[in-house]
Structure 1
Amino acid sequence: MNYVIEMLNIRKEFPGIVANNNITLQVKPGEIHALLGENGAGKSTLMNVLFGLYQPEQGQIRVRDKNVEINNPNIANELGIGMVHQHFMLVEPFTVTENIILGSEPKHRGKIDYKKAEQEVREISERYGLQVDPQAKIRDISVGMQQRVEILKMLYRGADILILDEPTAVLTPQEIQELIQIMRSLIAEGKSIILITHKLKEIMEVCDRVTVIRKGEGIGTVEVADTNPTELASLMVGREVNFASTKSEKVPGREVLAIEGLVVKDSRKVDMVNGLDLHVHAGEIVGIAGVDGNGQSELIEAITGLRKAESGSIKLNTQDIKNLSPRKVTEQGVAHIPQDRHKFGLILDFPIGENMALQTYYRQPFSKMGILNYKTIDQHAAALIDEYDVRTPSTSTKARALSGGNQQKAIIAREIDRSPDLLIAAQPTRGLDVGAIEFIHQKLFEERNNDRAVLLVSFELEEIMNVSDRIAVMYNGKIVAIVKPSETSEQQLGLLMAGSKLPEQVGDH
């Protein structure tokens, strides 16, 4: 059998952990091959070995039937292997073209030939349907566009084996569909793609074969045509996973959050939240559905004290909390699972134990007279780590070293542990595997059943439909409709999110 890539019996160790144990991966020419596994299963490590960022302790790599040693990414590039990392490697103040040619600049009389570079970028961009403006600055373009720049970087260097690491984790549903089209056009051009993912829906839609890794071990490779999401989930997690969220009926209680006429500007002084009204009660999960950029982030930042509101009121248990400091807001009984766990959820170079005390470190028993009690902080963290199944070697491991799913579980443990009246969960399962998603949804249901108010903001329509008791649709900075999941469909929700009115507006407002 001809393979473009063979990774045979690869073993990769880090201090105290075997990340890849005797894993074999074989990729055929012209296929989209999924690499599936839970957060922390060893998928990215295996691909970093293929891309030359890590050296394996044992095993053999073959590219187009030849044994190769890939000691650094330059050798990978020469072999036609390119990689788009989960966290993009782009220089924000540079233009699209400058990022793409970085390190491989075309020269003319000793100077960089920008005109030629722009022309080449435009040609490749059009050929693969990537539609990127070569002159735009990276900091001014959307995450989906930045990802296209990463793909162009590989194509510019002539890569024909493309590794995409969790490429849809930060994309909106529309951008995901666009990326799937791009992947299909790349395959039509004779490229081969390795797709690191844990999204089963995407594997079923776009992949030919899938190799499953569990806890660093290779479980096997299956044809996508011969499998289904349930089977893949149990191969990945090692047990049956419940996809349908089971939540009991519950009558909501008193009003916990009341927002009236809220106006919030973004950093360019544009009204992103524009006269918004919203009410959330104890014992209910209200999901906010909307296309990214319709004011969701500004709304959450205003409630949590991270951004000043211009006018209107935000009341928690009838007390106005508008424009209080973030600490004052949390002390009033608001917990916040932020949408960007690296920027706002964790201090990555702090131990995970200290991260779990970020909201409470200044109070007894964690400190006295300004002196921290590390023993108590550690004991408290160890109990939460155990309860929330946060997989970490110890409480002193840096947060940076944990997988995304375990970082997220740590944040959720810290926020829920304070028994808040209002829990704001923004993209709580972004980039997580089915096992972690199931766990987090369970925790949200527990909060609701304990008579807490939960505000869920998510771009995953399936999540909004499965988890919410009521869905508030946000468009142009306003709540344009409130619907019940049982009385609406994903299509109707999509129409509302795009600003259309339904023939009969469902629910109350």
Structure 2
Amino acid sequence: MELEGITKRFPGVVANKDIGFKVRRGTVHAIVGENGAGKSTLMKILYGVQRPDEGSIRVDGKEVNLHSPSDAIAVGIGMVFQHFQLADNFTVLENVTLGAEKLHGIGDAARTKIREISDSYGLDIDPDALVADLGVGARQRIEILKVLYRNARIIILDEPTAVLVPQEVEELFDNLRGLKAEGLTVLFISHKLDEVLSVADSVTVIRRGTTIDTVDPKSVNARQLAELMVGSQLPTPETEESTVTDKVVLRTEDIVLAGGAATRNVLDGISLTIRAGEVLGIAGVEGNGQAELVEVIMGMREPTSGLVFLHDKDISDWHVREIREAGVAYIPEDRHRHALLLEAPLWENRVLGHQTEEPNAKGGLINAAGAKADTERIVRDYDVRTPSIHVKAASLSGGNQQKLIVGREMSHQPKVLVAAHPTRGVDVGAQASIWDIIRTARRDGLAVLLISADLEELIGLSDTIHVILRGRLTGTFDPDTVTAEDLGAAMTGATGHEPGGDVDQPSADASAHPGAAPSADPGADPSVKPSDSKDAR
């Protein structure tokens, strides 16, 4: 593939300007840059979602005009989006064949083909599973399978490792190397620079909408690459000295969430204590109960048994609004589904979750003027890069959307912050900003529950780390001594001993295939069926 002079303009902003680079067949070519640098726009152009205003794209030496994703698929380009494009109420088979019915039909032939691709690339996908029952990791594997099912020869992967533990990342990279060996080409977009350097054959850096350079990953390190991206050094999530106090702010006591008559509990005896000035980290493969734990704490689910205390008050049966008004801030794991109204302006998004509190409300009514003024402050204080508070949230890059959410949640003097994957899919600059906010709030006495798939982030920010596996807390780790590999092994059940906690012995599938999600992912383990939720994820 060759790009030359790609330029794309939107009202008030030039997203791409004179972008050009070449991608060799049978290679992994990484694209890196800040949020807002123009990567997503460029990938949408390559996939036919948007049309460039200027420039040309050549595939196998032939210029192509991509008016739609169908055109891209026809020339062998497939894309796995960071935010998945799946219908929850469809099965895997129905999602994969949707729009591709002519390839293998919608019955047994398609089912056989899906199983064949799944087995060939180690995706462990059941074609008859309902997508609504699957965790984030399984959904990502379905997206990759969809692209392979359509015979793509050039595969665009947008942040593919965001939900994976280290062992699973290595497994994915092994798969990418296998794709390369078969002559497939991979465009790999990621903010994890160490991963980029380990898997890519070439790296193109984009800054402020234009290409800065294409480099050989063997000739640069992560810090040099970060400097090319943002003009500054790569941030680290390290915290300073301990600020943990004796004051208990949030406590859960033996939380149980039943999984149905024929299945094990989704949550089983979860007891946690978070003190003022403490960051308590939760590590786990997606689908092991961490999302349900957050929902119980936030009042979105009623626990089968057990209690949740805020200070000394039992809030187990409180509604979400009462919990929010009592000082519990919340950064959801999926900003598009749970934190933003993408078609609403920024100032309306600032009101979400705080519609009864000042400055958003006055006399029982929404105070639009107050909300707008405070949105201007958040944009300024949290460096949300936007031309106006009146633009739609959908027009912001992922990192700027996340900074808006963090600014909104920190604007009400919270006592507790429940942060689920707070830096997922954001660049090193936005990541550093969010880490600084958490560190500052920790020093000021905020109690933080941090759930993250970024093990460097967990180790760097947390005062204590618990591992959750199959709905149980199976290990407690000291961030000063634990390694990402240790955590990854504990998260997948591939180790028989974790210090500081009672540990399940690994099941046969987990020990035989360490790092794989099937044993811990409800979409792959038929014994795990998430219970009904007020939020049908």
- Same fold judged by TM-score > 0.5? yes
The answer to whether the aligner puts 1:117 opposite 2:103 as a matched pair is no
1:443-478 deviation per Cα after TM superposition (whole angstroms, max 9, x unaligned): 111111001211111122211111011122333433
Judged with a 3 Å threshold, the aligned counterparts in structure 2 of structure 1 residues 141 and 335 are, in CA distance, closer, same or farther, namely closer
Percent identity at matched positions?
45
Q: Where does residue 185 of structure 1 map in the other structure?
A: 178
Note if contact 2:331-2:422 (Cα within 8 Å) is conserved in structure 1: yes
1:82-481 to 2 correspondence within 5 Å? 82-106=78-102, 112=105, 114-243=107-236, 245-265=238-258, 271-481=265-475
Q: SS at the partner of 1:11?
A: strand
Distance (whole Å) between structure 2 residues aligned to residue 503 and residue 274 of structure 1: 18
Distance (whole Å) between structure 2 residues aligned to residue 420 and residue 218 of structure 1: 41
Q: Where does residue 7 of structure 2 map in the other structure?
A: 11
Judged with a 3 Å threshold, the aligned counterparts in structure 2 of structure 1 residues 64 and 485 are, in CA distance, closer, same or farther, namely same
Instruction: Report the residue type matching 1:453 in the other structure.
Output: A
Tell me how large the CA RMSD over aligned residues is.
2.5
Match of 1:39 among 35, 38, 42: 35
Note if contact 2:250-2:311 (Cα within 8 Å) is conserved in structure 1: yes
Note if contact 2:162-2:453 (Cα within 8 Å) is conserved in structure 1: no
Instruction: Report the residue type matching 1:6 in the other structure.
Output: E
Judged with a 3 Å threshold, the aligned counterparts in structure 2 of structure 1 residues 78 and 472 are, in CA distance, closer, same or farther, namely closer
Distance (whole Å) between structure 1 residues aligned to residue 147 and residue 103 of structure 2: 19
Judged with a 3 Å threshold, the aligned counterparts in structure 2 of structure 1 residues 380 and 267 are, in CA distance, closer, same or farther, namely farther
1:84-138 deviation per Cα after TM superposition (whole angstroms, max 9, x unaligned): 2222333444443443333343489xxx473333333344444444443334343
Q: SS at the partner of 1:417?
A: helix
Judged with a 3 Å threshold, the aligned counterparts in structure 2 of structure 1 residues 442 and 267 are, in CA distance, closer, same or farther, namely farther
**Stretch deviating more after TM superposition (359-368 or 305-314):** 359-368
Judged with a 3 Å threshold, the aligned counterparts in structure 2 of structure 1 residues 113 and 439 are, in CA distance, closer, same or farther, namely closer
Judged with a 3 Å threshold, the aligned counterparts in structure 2 of structure 1 residues 301 and 248 are, in CA distance, closer, same or farther, namely same
**Stretch deviating more after TM superposition (487-496 or 337-346):** 487-496
1:375-408 deviation per Cα after TM superposition (whole angstroms, max 9, x unaligned): 2111111011100011122111122221221111
Note if contact 1:106-1:116 (Cα within 8 Å) is conserved in structure 2: no
Q: SS at the partner of 1:486?
A: coil
Structure 1 length normalisation: TM-score? 0.91
Q: SS at the partner of 2:49?
A: coil
- Tell me the number of residue pairs that the alignment of Structure 1 and Structure 2 aligns: 500
Distance (whole Å) between structure 2 residues aligned to residue 481 and residue 127 of structure 1: 34
Distance (whole Å) between structure 2 residues aligned to residue 164 and residue 68 of structure 1: 21
Instruction: Report the residue type matching 1:74 in the other structure.
Output: S
Q: Which has the larger radius of gyration?
A: 1
Instruction: Report the residue type matching 1:384 in the other structure.
Output: I
Relative contact order, higher structure (CA 8 A, sep 6+):
2
Distance (whole Å) between structure 1 residues aligned to residue 108 and residue 499 of structure 2: 54
Instruction: Report the residue type matching 2:12 in the other structure.
Output: G
Unaligned ranges ≥5, structure 2: 503-537
Distance (whole Å) between structure 2 residues aligned to residue 372 and residue 439 of structure 1: 30
Shift of 1:246: 4.1
**Stretch deviating more after TM superposition (427-436 or 261-270):** 261-270
Instruction: Report the residue type matching 1:497 in the other structure.
Output: M
Q: Where does residue 64 of structure 2 map in the other structure?
A: 68
Structure 2 length normalisation: TM-score? 0.87
Judged with a 3 Å threshold, the aligned counterparts in structure 2 of structure 1 residues 307 and 67 are, in CA distance, closer, same or farther, namely same
Distance (whole Å) between structure 2 residues aligned to residue 107 and residue 217 of structure 1: 38
Shift of 1:181: 2.1
